[in-house]
């Protein structure tokens, strides 16, 4: 019969078999319990979101941070906990310490990114938007990028500080080098600052139709360096953010309604009574369409070849296809109404007068 006490006392790599068994049990218990707790809280949080339930800020933030905890970090925690139960050589203990420090600050960076995005989205919800609009979506991406750059830089520097690296000389060197880099990449930094301005001011968003100087297209992406448009003809147009802010931008995506103004030219032989009836007839045609708002129709001027009426109305939706369909329907309606009223639309006509050929002179000497 083997003596189990002797087996437990066998030394292996500086630790007894019993110590290795206890450390292994602690590792398995920790690496099993922590993911189960994380999954339980993540499932509960998902159910809260699906049900639309609200909880105190501390509860929501805690649930979010637990759900954003990396499995690698949990594995490192379990490794660290089990290593505390063993004798570990100094070199190995230093390696474990370095891994733990970098893993911890990496996880802090993940928590910081999750908290920053949560704060931005929570502010948007408090502003009254149930979900992120295209404008907010583009702004969130830019702000999260800037926040992420700051968070990960701080996490890396703090990790180096925990490992005993003197970061003050490093920060001084980074400051001097940063000035040199800033002078070398002024245009890039200008575009980055312009992206922050776009994110904060929100002059346009993804899906908006823009005219930037002589360029027209729909916004597909708002990045840190550039804004991408999809033109009407199909190609992608890439504009630097700094150039966009310097230009005169027309945002048709924010248009609430479209104004339509056109002229009707009728012939000079139209009787005055029919001229008086034309504004009411045009108004009836326009107001028959549910998505229009009639503004005016006036006998405006005596033209060179016609009597000119100016018509103005509004389409109460911004979609251009709807506007074009309504304009077509109104034009056909006006033609039908003029035909019923026996009113002729004037058009320019030209008369060509030709002179008879000159008479031939009789030949000389005849």
CA distance 221 to 345: 48
The pLDDT of residue 92 is 76
The pLDDT of residue 183 is 47
- Residue 4: how many CB atoms within 10 A of its CB? 10
3-class state of residue 3 by DSSP: coil
The pLDDT of residue 184 is 47
CA distance 146 to 153: 11
Per-residue confidence of the chain (366 residues) as pLDDT tens digits?
Answer: 455 555 555 665 566 667 677 777 887 877 788 878 888 887 877 777 767 666 677 777 778 788 888 888 888 888 887 777 777 777 877 888 888 888 888 888 888 888 888 877 776 666 555 455 555 555 666 677 778 888 888 888 888 888 877 767 666 666 655 555 554 455 666 777 787 788 777 888 888 889 998 888 999 988 878 899 998 888 999 998 888 988 889 888 888 889 999 999 999 999 999 999 999 999 999 999 999 999 999 999 999 889 999 999 999 988 888 999 999 999 999 999 999 999 999 987 766 767 777 766 666 655
CA distance 98 to 160: 10
Domains belonging to the chain, first-starting first, are 9-131 (no CATH), 187-254 (2.30.30.60), 258-341 (3.30.70.100)
Residue 355 DSSP code: P
- What pTM, to 2 d.p., does this model score? 0.51
| 90-to-10, 77, 94, 155 alpha-carbon distances in Å | 22, 19, 6, 26
Closest Cα partner for 307 from 253, 255, 345, 357?
345
Say which residue the tokens 């009787």 belong to: 271
């Amino acid at each position: 019969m083997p003596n189990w006490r002797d087996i437990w006392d066998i030394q292996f790599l500086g630790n007894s078999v019993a110590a290795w068994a206890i450390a292994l049990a602690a590792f398995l218990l920790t690496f099993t319990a922590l993911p189960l707790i994380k999954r339980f809280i993540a499932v509960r949080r998902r159910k809260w979101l699906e049900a639309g339930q609200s909880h105190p800020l501390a509860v929501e933030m805690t649930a979010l941070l637990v759900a954003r905890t990396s499995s690698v970090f949990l594995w490192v925690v379990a490794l660290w906990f089990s290593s505390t139960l063993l004798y570990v050589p100094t070199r190995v203990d230093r390696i474990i310490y370095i891994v733990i420090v970098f893993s911890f600050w990496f996880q802090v960076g993940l928590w910081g990114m999750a908290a920053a995005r949560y704060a931005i989205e929570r502010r948007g919800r408090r502003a009254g938007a149930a979900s992120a609009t295209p404008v907010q979506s583009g702004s969130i991406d830019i702000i999260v990028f800037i926040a992420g750059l700051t968070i990960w830089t701080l996490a890396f520097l703090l990790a180096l500080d925990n490992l005993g690296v003197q970061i003050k000389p490093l920060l001084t060197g980074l400051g001097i080098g940063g000035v040199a880099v800033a002078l070398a990449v002024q245009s890039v930094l200008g575009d980055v600052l312009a992206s922050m301005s776009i994110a904060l001011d929100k002059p346009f968003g993804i899906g908006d139709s823009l005219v930037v100087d002589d360029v027209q297209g729909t916004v597909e992406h708002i990045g840190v360096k550039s804004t991408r448009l999809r033109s009407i003809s199909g190609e992608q147009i890439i504009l630097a953010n700094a150039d966009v802010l310097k230009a005169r931008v027309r945002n048709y995506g924010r248009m609430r309604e479209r104004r339509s103004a056109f002229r009707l030219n009728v012939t000079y032989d139209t009787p005055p009574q029919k001229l008086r009836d034309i504004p009411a007839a045009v108004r009836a045609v326009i107001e028959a369409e549910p998505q229009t708002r009639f503004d005016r129709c006036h006998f405006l001027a005596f033209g060179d070849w016609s009597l000119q009426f100016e018509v103005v109305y509004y389409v109460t939706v911004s979609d251009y296809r709807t506007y074009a369909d309504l304009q077509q329907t109104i034009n056909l309606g006006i033609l039908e109404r003029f035909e019923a009223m026996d009113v002729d639309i004037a058009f320019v006509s030209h008369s060509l007068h030709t002179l008879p050929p000159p008479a031939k002179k009789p030949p000389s000497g005849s």
